[in-house]
Amino acid sequence: MKYLKQFLIILAVSFAGELMRFLIPLPVGASVYGILLMFLCLELHIIRLEDIRETGQFLIEIMPVMFIPAGVGLMSSWGIIRSAWVAYVVTTFFSTFAVFAVSGLVTQAVGKRTKGGKDDG
């Protein structure tokens, strides 16, 4: 019963994200709204971490399984993708390294800020 309650809390926040996507005319996905809502609920102690911890960990552990439908969708769309596959690969390559770079710089900046300007490396 505990896991069902935890899953329903996560599902309710996800549903609220869907509603926000419907009501707010911004080009933002419902999952982004949902994760922001979950973050705010956790930070403001509306939802306690203990109320969703086990189910959240389970969902994170099975996350790779959730990519299977996307992979199958790509394979079934090969006829459409075939003409532009080089562009897709190049875009994926550069965007991945852009995310790496930005994530690293942000992590270093936050690390320096939280250590009071001290740098370990």
Q: Is the pLDDT of residue 115 over 90?
A: no
pLDDT at residue number 2 = 92
- Using alpha carbons only, what angle is made at residue 81 by residues 75 and 85, rounded to the nearest 5 degrees? 105
Condensed to tens digits (0 to 9), the pLDDT of residues 68-104 reads 998 898 889 888 888 998 999 999 999 999 999 999 9
Distance CA(21)–CA(31), nearest Å, equals: 9
Query: Where residue 41 falls among pLDDT bands split at 50, 70, 90?
Result: very high
Q: Is the pTM of this model over 0.75?
A: no
Lowest mean pLDDT among 7-11, 35-39, 115-119: 115-119
* Contacts of 11-19 spanning 24+ positions with Cβ under 8 A: 13/37, 13/38, 13/41, 13/47
Residue 118, pLDDT score: 55
CA distance 98 to 104: 10
